[in-house]
Amino acid sequence: MPPRRDRAQQDDATPPPPPPQLTPYERANVDMLAGITRLLERQFGATREVA
């Protein structure tokens, strides 16, 4: 197994590769998960303020 490179040693001159293009089905899944996450964050935040 090759040794891990330290993050500080990475070449900052090369930009990261562009994200892959999502299919409409994948995009819908991402949107749905983002909505669920927002809902849970709101719910958790509301219960945290009460406690």
List pLDDT tens digits, range 9-51: 555 677 777 778 989 999 999 999 999 999 999 988 877 665 5
Q: What is the pLDDT of residue 44?
A: 86
Phi/psi at 30 (5° precision): -65, -45
- Radius of gyration (C-alpha) of the chain in whole angstroms: 19
Q: Is 19 among the domain residues? A: yes
Q: Is 1 among the domain residues? A: no
Query: Among positive and negative, which fits the CA dihedral 19, 22, 26, 30?
Result: positive
> 33 is in which domain, residue-wise?
7-46
Q: Is 17 among the domain residues? A: yes
Q: Is 14 among the domain residues? A: yes
Rounding to the nearest 10 degrees, give the CA dihedral for residues 24, 25, 30, 31. 70
More confident residue, 30 or 4: 30
pTM of the model: 0.49
Hey, is 2 helix, strand or coil? coil
